[in-house]
Structure 1
């Protein structure tokens, strides 16, 4: 069996799908994308496939991963690692289908029967979070996540902190103490404001505070972690086990959030999860993306003893024209019950892509994240 063909599909709201085809007609799907940089990643995927993978046996996944990563003198970063991630997902999908087994079986088997998921509320500039929280809990979710703030100055006034407190207070009042609330700082917050916000939010018992500082300031995480009892989560903008090594060794985090479409795919994130387990760190994969990325996450979640919870993008504020279930032939595979999703038991990634719908939706996608500015006109973190 050899890899004989591939196609790439840019589809709304902001996703890139990869279809790999083998000489015996087996098809594997991957989701290689950097949100807002789909065309750039598309080119990287084409380079990997045209220059190396076409004509190769798809079964040697570890060797292919090493060749794609180490075969270039310049390596790492969001574009290359996202391209590798999507190719890797598709290779695992093919391998699972070849053996008639879910990917998790090929990784050692299940460590659980279902995976807890959380639901986003409130949007980019968080608002109306109390009502939204109550609605999602009524739908059966037991964990929520919200942005902590809109744009915020490097040293902001007490009102900015009070507004963040008011929002989480409204959610806590609406849902009570049996629902978990993740609070995403989104890398918008400076080191001094991160410490102030962490202390102010602590009485409302967040499940975690996410990305309290940008990854280029991960050296500040140990001090932030020491200043609060709230668990610290980060990792959506970290792309390999070598990026995560520093935060493990510095005892800086409690939950890591690698993205299966950015951090090298199933092969790499499975290794990152094992590294995290050795440091008593939980994993909650980042996934505000499409169904292929989510299916890949769940395969790793299934066989990782330290999985805490899984992000998923149903009804997320980015999904204005299409949603995660629209591209599936059988959307029930991601049916959420009591705050959990069952682990798909179909071969490969366990999902069937509705290729006709993918082709109907392809083209015309030009999503880019907004450029926010402070009152003085300077660029703010989004």
Structure 2
């Protein structure tokens, strides 16, 4: 059996799908993308597939992963690791089909019967979040996440801090103490502002504060942790176990958030999860992406005992022109019941992609994140 062909599809709202075909007619799917850099990742996938994978046996996934990663002198980073991630997902999808089993059964079997999920509220510049929170809780979600702020200056005003605290207070008042509310700093916040915001938010008991500083400032996390009892989450912009090693050794991060489409795929994130477990760190995979990425997340969630909760992008503010369920032949696989999603029992990723719909929607997707600027014209973190 050999890999005989592959295709890439850019589809709305901002996703890139990979289709890999084998000589016995099986088809595996992956989702290799960096949001806003789909064309760049596409080129990386083509290079890896043409150089290493076409004509090869798809089964030795670990060897393929090592070859794609270590076969190049320059390693890591969002583009290469996202390309590897999508290919890895497709190879695991093929492997599961070969054994007629979900991927999690090939990774040791279930550690749970279902996976808790959270729902986004608000947008990039969060507003009216109390009403949105109530609506999502009425739909059955027991956990929510929201952005803390829009752009912030390096040292901003008391009013900016108070506004963020007021938004969280409104959500907490709307949903009560039984609902978890994560607050995403989104890397928009400098070290001094992160400390001030954490102190201001703490009375409203957020589930966690996410990415309180940019990953290049990971050395600041111990100082921030010393100012708050709120659990700290980070990791969506870390791409391998080596990137996560520093935060584990610091001992101050409580929840890691690797992305199955950025951090090397199923093969690598399963290893990251095991490392986290050894440090008593929970995992909540990042996934504001499409159905293939989410399916990959659920497979790892199923067999990783330290998974806390799963992000998913249904109705997220980015999803204009397409949403998670649109590309599935059977959307019920992601039916959320009481704030949970059940484990899929189908082979491989456990989803069936509506290939005709993918082909109909495929084209050039020119999505790029906005460039924000401060009042003085300087670039602000988005």
Q: Is 1:79–2:88 an aligned residue pair?
A: no
Q: Deviations over 1:8-67 (max 9, x none)?
A: 000000000000000000100000000000000000000000011001100000000000
Query: Secondary structure of the residue that 2:116 maps to in structure 1?
Result: strand
Q: How far 1:226 moved relative to its partner?
A: 1.8
Aligned residue number for residue 56 of structure 2:
56
Aligned residue number for residue 287 of structure 1:
287
Q: How far 1:252 moved relative to its partner?
A: 2.5
Q: How far 1:185 moved relative to its partner?
A: 0.0
Aligned residue number for residue 244 of structure 2:
244
User: For residues 364 and 102 of structure 1, what CA distance do their matches in structure 2 show?
Assistant: 32
Q: How far 1:320 moved relative to its partner?
A: 1.1
Q: Deviations over 1:315-373 (max 9, x none)?
A: 00000110000000000000000000001010000000000000000003100000000
After superposition, residues 139-158 of structure 1 pair within 5 angstroms as 139-158=139-158
User: For residues 141 and 222 of structure 2, what CA distance do their matches in structure 1 show?
Assistant: 31
Query: Secondary structure of the residue that 1:159 maps to in structure 2?
Result: helix
User: For residues 275 and 332 of structure 1, what CA distance do their matches in structure 2 show?
Assistant: 33
Q: How far 1:227 moved relative to its partner?
A: 1.3
Q: Is 1:380–2:351 an aligned residue pair?
A: no
After superposition, residues 230-269 of structure 1 pair within 5 angstroms as 230-269=230-269
Query: Secondary structure of the residue that 1:326 maps to in structure 2?
Result: helix
Q: Deviations over 1:87-120 (max 9, x none)?
A: 0000000000000000000000000000000000
Q: How far 1:234 moved relative to its partner?
A: 0.1
Query: Secondary structure of the residue that 2:4 maps to in structure 1?
Result: strand
User: For residues 361 and 119 of structure 1, what CA distance do their matches in structure 2 show?
Assistant: 26
Gaps of 5+ in 2: none
Aligned length: 382
Query: Secondary structure of the residue that 1:146 maps to in structure 2?
Result: strand
Q: How far 1:129 moved relative to its partner?
A: 0.0
Q: Deviations over 1:148-172 (max 9, x none)?
A: 0000000000000000001000000
Q: Is 1:186–2:210 an aligned residue pair?
A: no
Aligned residue number for residue 314 of structure 1:
314
User: For residues 247 and 375 of structure 2, what CA distance do their matches in structure 1 show?
Assistant: 34
Aligned residue number for residue 31 of structure 1:
31
RMSD: 0.4
Q: Deviations over 1:210-235 (max 9, x none)?
A: 00000000000111112110000000
Q: Deviations over 1:217-276 (max 9, x none)?
A: 000011111211000000000000000000000112000000000000000000000000
Aligned residue number for residue 117 of structure 1:
117
Aligned residue number for residue 364 of structure 1:
364
Q: How far 1:6 moved relative to its partner?
A: 0.1
User: For residues 345 and 69 of structure 2, what CA distance do their matches in structure 1 show?
Assistant: 30
User: For residues 223 and 25 of structure 1, what CA distance do their matches in structure 2 show?
Assistant: 55
After superposition, residues 207-356 of structure 1 pair within 5 angstroms as 207-356=207-356
